Amino acid sequence: MEIIFATANRHKLKEAQSIAGTEFQLLSSASLGVTEDIEETGATLKENALIKAKYLWEKFGRPCFADDTGLEIDALEGRPGVYSARYAGEGCSFADNVQKVLKEMNGITNRGARFKTIVALITDGTPHFFEGCVEGTITETTSGEKGFGYDPVFKPAGYDTTMAEMSEEEKNRISHRGIAVTKMIEYLRQYNK
Ligand code: IMP
């Protein structure tokens, strides 16, 4: 079974394909010629994931899914949340976002946070949602060069390192996106019987 994944990110595609195994062939929307940015105008991760999945469903009428991820920081009332990609402003870099978080968290002792991913899957017109979550804390300074986004300041619960210090395999094993995609694949295995 082929499934279209709303992404142009090769790392995300590789991660999802390694979870999907050989039963499901994932095709990136970019490889099918979708070069436009699908506008994420939703107020929640779920709405944004659905907007992207629906866009592909309407365009291709084939099984497809999309994900949306946010970092929720308790002391910041869940921010940056749905605004994680552009927290420091339109066109900002990952480093700008990280610096903004560190500044806002300066002197705050409650450092609890989580990465949350929502996946929206459409195989027959009706969307199905899957959630993945990793609890952790925001560090005082950046550590590590791997990964992307907020990885250098996010330490998963039970680990001594930030996500930016983990190998790709280690991060994928525990990641919010990995958990959500695993749930989706388990659902598809049932549905495909
Ligand atoms: P997206 O929905 O996957 O595009 O993620 C939105 C934003 O959340 C990204 O621009 C990153 O800043 C952040 N983000 C998503 N996934 C991760 C991750 O695995 N580690 C660190 N930051 C992430």
Ligand 1 binding pocket includes 92 (Cβ within 6 Å)? no
Ligand 1 binding pocket includes 68 (Cβ within 6 Å)? yes
DSSP 8-class letter at 8: -
Contact of 113 with 136, CB cutoff 8 Å: yes
Ligand 1 binding pocket includes 38 (Cβ within 6 Å)? no
pTM summary value: 0.94
Active site residue ranges: 68
Copy the structure tokens of residue 130. 């899957």
Each residue of 54-97: pLDDT tens digit? 999 999 999 999 999 999 999 999 999 999 999 999 999 999 99
Looking up tokens 């339109």 gives: 90
Assign 3-state DSSP to the chain and report helix, strand, coil percentages, each to 5: 40, 25, 35
The pLDDT of residue 193 is above 70: no
- d(CA 88, CA 97) in angstroms, rounded, equals 5
Residue ranges covered by each domain of the chain: 2-191
**Residue 162 amino acid letter:** T
Q: Whose CA is nearest to atom 17 of ligand 1?
A: 149
Closest CA to 61 of 2, 121, 125, 110: 125
Contact of 6 with 27, CB cutoff 8 Å: no
Confidence of residue 15 (pLDDT cuts 50, 70, 90): confident
3.40.50.1390, 3.40.50.300, 3.90.950.10, 3.40.50.720: which CATH number matches 2-191?
Answer: 3.90.950.10
Give the distance (Å) from ligand 1 centre to CA of residue 81.
Answer: 10
Each residue of 95-110: pLDDT tens digit? 999 999 999 999 999 9
Buried b (16+ CB within 10 A) or exposed e, 117-131: bbbbbbbeeebbbbe
The pLDDT of residue 38 is above 90: no
Give the distance (Å) from ligand 1 centre to CA of residue 34.
Answer: 20
- d(CA 119, CA 49) in angstroms, rounded, equals 6
Give the distance (Å) from ligand 1 centre to CA of residue 193.
Answer: 33
Each residue of 122-173: pLDDT tens digit? 999 999 999 999 999 999 999 999 989 999 999 999 999 999 999 988 998 8
- CA atoms lying within 13 Å on the CB side of residue 36: 7
Copy the structure tokens of residue 149. 């986004």
Ligand 1 binding pocket includes 139 (Cβ within 6 Å)? no
For Cα atoms 19, 46, 183, give the angle at the middle one, nearest 5 degrees.
25
CA-175 nearest atom, ligand 1: 19
pLDDT of amino acid 33: 94
